[in-house]
Amino acid sequence: MPEIKQPNPWYVGVVSGMASYIDSAAIVSNGTALVIYQKTIGTTALEIGILSGALTLCIALGAFSGGRLGDRYGRRKIFIITMAMVMVGTLLLALSSQFSFLLLGTVFVGLATGADLPVSLATISEAADDSNRGKIIGLSNLLWFAGICATMAISALVGGWGQWGAQLLYLHVGAVAAVLLALRWSLPESPMWLIAQKEKLSGKATIRAQKTTYSDLLRGKYLWPFIALCLFYMFTNLAANTGGQFGAYVAVNVVGITVEKNAWWNLLLMPVGVLSGLLFMKMVDTEKRMRVFIIGACFFAGGFFMPVLLRFSPVSWFCCLLFTAIGSGMAFEGIMKVWSQESFPTMLRATAQGAIVGMARLTCGILAFITPVLLDAGPVVLYTILSAVVASGMFIGWLCFHGKQRNEFSDEANMLTESASVPLPASAQTTTPN
């Protein structure tokens, strides 16, 4: 049998982790481009609402379906299809002016970006080992920041170009997807998934071959981490998403600063989030992981409470932005991705991740409908609730994961060694550059 040459795990981490770049770039580009379309091609407020809601809903549905499909049919097939869908969707959004085509393009982009994330994370985690898995997964968070920064930079450059500017925002996402499609084509299928699939088809009673259905997530040793991760990400993401969607509104109408100042403060603090993410990458694969998480959790929950404590002054708002930037890098999406990859076996890994992300995105979409009502009741009420919800999510995460580190890979590595003599399908024998 020819020697199988696996790509460098950091190479896999970048190529697969760009799912997070596509995710953030697509969401930010869509929000800006639709505003431009309103002024240039006559997209109505109702149509913008439908398109924005459709994107959120499709990302959630894509996460549910993509994770499951990735576990059933392989990671490589799904993350190639998703990039092709993003390309088609962004072309429809860039080149069409009819609402029906804009909606179809939004559905394509939403389903693809949602489906790509759990499959790509599973690919990363299965290419890495215990010494670098958390670091490489953490890299995806930095790529998420990069997607926002790149899109904001393009928006600043082309925002005044009219319809051309909106088209370039969408085409930027499509061009990145095209490059990723070419790079991902050379990636081999995950050897862990290939062996698990072979064992499943042959009827072997290994954990990775037999634990394959949604019902397996709801019983045994997988139930508690699955519930804990769903609640942790749902609660923390509710606050983060609300801050992202309605932060500018609160800054202008409650705090009393301008849109420009709020945008500059957010840009100024982005390097803080990056530095926090780099600290997370350095510590996540060490015994100091939980210590870093606890510090980040205090910053993240405390950040949403600062405007309540100091009554929505410019100082308290800046502290809110600063503290949440620090906390998000150390105790938010990055640690959720690491925990979810470590807590489930091969044939459940992407399924669980997709369900966790999908439920959080659906909950955020529902909350967005009632957030204006909560703001009318008073911003103090809203931010008190957000702070309490974040603190609850952080406590649930600590409660589940503060003891001995969960690591399904330790068992799978032993079984993988025992199965080393099993011939792998030809799709696993693709070679790629290190």
For residue 210, the model assigns a pLDDT of 58
Task: Give me 58's structure tokens.
Answer: 């499709």
To the question of domain 214-411 being in CATH 1.20.1250.20, the answer is yes
User: Do the domains 214-411 and 9-189 match in fold?
Assistant: yes
Can you say how many angstroms the Cα of residue 72 is from the centroid of all Cα atoms in its chain? 21
Q: What pLDDT is stored for residue 364 in this prediction?
A: 83
3-state SS, one letter per residue, for the chain: CCCCCCCCHHHHHHHHHHHHHHHHHHHHHHHHHHHHHHHHCCCCHHHHHHHHHHHHHHHHHHHHHHHHHHHHHCHHHHHHHHHHHHHHHHHHHHHCCCHHHHHHHHHHHHHHHHHHHHHHHHHHHHHCCCCCHHHHHHHHHHHHHHHHHHHHHHHHHHCCCCHHHHHHHHHHHHHHHHHHHHHHHCCCCCHHHHHHHHHHHHCCCCHHHHCCCHHHHCCHHHHHHHHHHHHHHHHHHHHHHHHHHHHHHHHHHHHCCCHHHHHHHHHHHHHHHHHHHHHHHHHCCCCCHHHHHHHHHHHHHHHHHHHHHCCCCHHHHHHHHHHHHHHHHHHCHHHHHHHHHHCCCHHHHHHHHHHHHHHHHHHHHHHHHHHHHHHHHCHHHHHHHHHHHHHHHHHHHHHHHCCCCCCHHHHHHHHHHHCCCCCCCHHHHCCCCC
Residue 323: half-sphere exposure toward Cβ, Cα within 13 Å: 19
Cα–Cα distance measured from residue 85 to residue 91, given in angstroms and rounded to the nearest whole number: 10
What is d(CA 197, CA 331) in angstroms, rounded to the nearest whole number? 34
User: Closest Cα partner for 106 from 94, 116, 118?
Assistant: 94
pLDDT per position as a tens digit, 142-187: 998 889 888 888 888 888 888 999 999 999 999 999 999 999 999 9
* Highest CATH level, class, for 9-189: mainly alpha
**Proportion of the chain above pLDDT 70, given as a percent:** 91
Q: What's the pLDDT score for residue 122?
A: 93
pLDDT at 433: 38
Tell me the C-alpha distance between 148 and 18, whole Å: 12
pLDDT recorded at residue 434: 35
- Please give the pLDDT value at position 418: 45
Distance CA 404, CA 51 (A): 45
Q: Kindly report the pTM of this predicted structure.
A: 0.85
Cα–Cα distances in angstroms (integers) from residue 65 to residues 76, 115, 277, 343, 431, in the given order: 15, 6, 29, 20, 29
CB 391 within 8 A of CB 331: no
Predicted pLDDT of residue 432 = 38
Decide if 61 contacts 114 (C-beta within 8 A). yes
Question: How high is the mean pLDDT in each 10-residue block of the chain (434 residues)?
Answer: 68 94 90 86 86 88 94 92 97 94 96 95 91 92 88 84 92 97 92 80 62 77 93 93 78 84 86 94 94 97 94 94 94 93 88 93 81 78 93 97 81 47 41 37
> To 5 degrees, how large is the angle CA 416–CA 421–CA 425?
85
Q: What is the pLDDT of residue 141?
A: 87
pLDDT value of residue 250: 86
Q: Which of 70, 113, 86 is nearest to 179 (CA)?
A: 86
Report the candidate in 70, 75, 107, 69 with the shortest Cα–Cα distance to residue 88: 107
Contact (CB, 8 A) for 384 and 209: no
User: What tokens appear for 427 in the block?
Assistant: 């799709």
Domain ranges of the chain: 9-189, 214-411
Q: What does the pLDDT read at residue 206?
A: 61
